[in-house]
Amino acid sequence: MTTKGRTKSTANKSRNNELRQRAESLADLNISFIASERFADAEATPEDEQLAAIELGHETTHAKGGEGLPPHLRRMCATPLLTAEMEQQVFFRMNYCKYHAAAVLGTLHPSRPARGKVEEAEEYLERADRLRNYLIQANTRLVMSIARKYADPRNPFDDLLSRGIASLIRAVEKFDCDRGYRFSTYATCAVRRDLNRLVMNSRRDSQRFAPTPGDVLESVVEEDFEHPGKAVDRWKSLSELLSQMMEVLDDREKQIIRARFGFDEDSKISFSHLGKRMGISKERARQLANRALDKLREQDDANVLAGFC
């Protein structure tokens, strides 16, 4: 074989290996779509010019608005809102393109894939991605409006928006346009559910790991007894604050808190000694102390006590 022939043979092998790798990558994809009886009558390219432009990546229309928003949020609002009819068509075409790609892949020979079929499958998957991205971008304003309602100092808007976009992406993949209702109805429920779960988990975690009044008192009392000169000022400030907060406690609860954390003693009093002093059981003394601490926790709305830790 001549040098030219060997070079050509090597090039062919390289192209064939590259083609097989592309086919294997496509085969590894889990292509999911919402099936429709209308797939059988679908055209290779839609007749509607705007829909075809979106599918083929030629869409250049931008929505007006977004004034006053940061640049990155304004860009997210650049895609125009979809009419009900156009929304149905975009969802249908997205799922059809996935269906078409899956059908082509089902005919590929594993070891000798046809280049034309591989390219056709790749093209239709790219079309599906363009349509999906367009749907996501057209509904981003919906996510932003929902995220604003949940935003607070503990749950920043950007974090909520990120989670909301992830919910929106899942909703786009699962929405069945043949059922006849608007996507915004379906997406709103999905985004609200996920953001509500995020906020509730954040609240639960903050309560779980935030210092309780008992934690604060234990911390200050231990430091006071181990390093008397170091905690005097802090203990004085805490004592004044707690004296105001303890107005919500009844006399017995006040007595237990003061004795338990050394307000009126030179040292902390155990629940066992508290029980004997008050004529109640050790466990009852513990229950009353916990009830009193819960009341103090409710009083500490601004989490002021955490500053003493």
Q: What is the pLDDT of residues 27-54, one digit of tens each?
A: 889 899 999 999 999 999 999 999 999 9
CA–CA gap between residue 91 and residue 95 (Å, rounded):
6
Based on the domain organization, do 263 and 119 belong to the same domain?
Answer: no
Q: Which of 211, 222, 309 minimizes the C-alpha distance to 261?
A: 222
Residue 302: what pLDDT? 45
pLDDT at 265 over 60: no
Nearest-angstrom CA–CA distance, 86 and 221: 68
Task: Please indicate, yes or no, if residue 11 is contained in any of the structural domains.
Answer: no
State how far the Cα of 239 lies from the Cα of 234, in Å rounded to an integer. 8
CA 101 to chain centre: 31
Q: Which domain holds residue 253?
A: 213-308
User: What mean pLDDT do residues 213-223 have?
Assistant: 54
This prediction has a pTM of: 0.65
pLDDT tens figures, 116-131 = 999 999 999 999 999 9
Domain with residue 253: its CATH number is: 1.10.10.10
pLDDT at 263: 65
Residue 37 CB: number of other CB atoms within 10 A?
7
Q: How many domains does the chain have?
A: 2
Integer Cα distance of 298 and 21 in angstroms = 62
Q: Are residues 151 and 276 in the same domain?
A: no
- State the pLDDT at residue 132: 97
Q: How far apart are CA 186 and CA 173, in angstroms?
A: 12
